């Protein structure tokens, strides 16, 4: 069975500072990994995803993430935070096989606060 752990339920940064949101996964097969963002009273929006190939993945709004198999990690970063980045971020894993049709397993989420 797969699982996702997001380290830190709340992260606070200053505007212009580096954003680092941590995600570790557990999967018995090569995983597909996703980062989603959720703004208040909205659904989830895809930031980026890793399937196969290049381990550094670039997404929207300047975010990127690096897949590290040896560390079972998929941390999300952004060099310079903007006030509009304040939201809740979710890391998710998708596995292969019949028991995984249409199923994403999510971490508990990390609320990002950006201070002026």
Report the nearest approach of another protein to the CB of residue 32 (Å): 5
- Let me know how many helices (H) and strands (E) the chain has, helices first: 0, 11
Report the nearest approach of another protein to the CB of residue 4 (Å): 10
Report the nearest approach of another protein to the CB of residue 103 (Å): 5
Q: Which tokens go with 27?
A: 């999967």
Q: Which residues bind another protein (CB under 8 A)?
A: 32, 34, 36, 41-46, 49, 51, 90, 94-96, 98-109
What angle is formed at CA 20 by the lines to CA 91 and CA 26, rounded to 5 degrees? Answer: 35
Nearer to another protein, 81 or 92 (CB): 92
Nearer to another protein, 1 or 116 (CB): 1
Q: First vs last Cα of the chain: how many Å apart?
A: 41
Nearer to another protein, 25 or 81 (CB): 25
Beta bridge partners, 76, equal 21, 65
């Amino acid at each position: 069975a797969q699982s996702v752990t997001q380290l830190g339920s709340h992260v606070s940064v200053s505007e212009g500072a580096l954003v680092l949101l941590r995600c570790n996964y557990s999967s018995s097969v090569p995983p597909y990994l996703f980062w989603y963002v959720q703004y208040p009273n909205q659904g989830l929006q895809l930031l980026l995803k890793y399937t196969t190939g290049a381990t550094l993945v670039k997404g929207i709004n300047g975010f990127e993430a690096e897949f590290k198999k040896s560390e079972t990690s998929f941390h999300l970063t952004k060099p310079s935070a903007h006030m509009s980045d304040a939201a809740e971020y979710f890391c998710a894993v998708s596995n292969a096989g019949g028991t995984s049709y249409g199923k994403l397993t999510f971490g508990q989420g990390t609320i990002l606060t950006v201070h002026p």
